[in-house]
Amino acid sequence: MKKDIGWFLSGMIGEVIDVDGGEARDCVGKFMIVRVKSEINKPLKRCLRVDILGDGVKTIMLIKYERLPNHCFKYGVVSHRTNECSEEDIPRVNGEEKPLLGI
């Protein structure tokens, strides 16, 4: 994936600060490292749905976050940790916890 596409996709998450294009300036492999600024009072995006080929078929690109202080995976906000969450309990499906935003 080219670095300019990384800037475009990152812009769908928040304000782009940097896109790491690797040594060859191409984002190589399955992952791309980007830095974005986003509003912490809004839930973080878990994925992007993008029509890559322009054929109307949307591809889902999962987003992985690193170094999130005080992040609640249950509600996707950066205001408290999941274990400190005073909101309602995590939903259960077939006896297993199913966090709203995954872990």
Residues whose CB falls within 8 Å of the CB of residue 21, separated by 6 or more in sequence, listed in order: 3, 6, 27
Residue 102: domain span: 68-103
User: What's the whole-model pTM score?
Assistant: 0.61
**Number of domains comprising the chain:** 2
Query: Of 71, 11, 5, whose CA–CA distance to 35 is shortest?
Result: 11
How many angstroms separate the CA atoms of 85 and 66, rounded? 20
The per-residue pLDDT of the chain, averaged, comes to: 76
How many angstroms separate the CA atoms of 30 and 80, rounded? 30
Highest mean pLDDT among 8-17, 27-36, 91-100: 8-17
Q: Do 5 and 54 share a domain, yes or no?
A: yes
Q: Do 46 and 90 share a domain, yes or no?
A: no
Q: Do 60 and 72 share a domain, yes or no?
A: no
How many angstroms separate the CA atoms of 37 and 29, rounded? 24
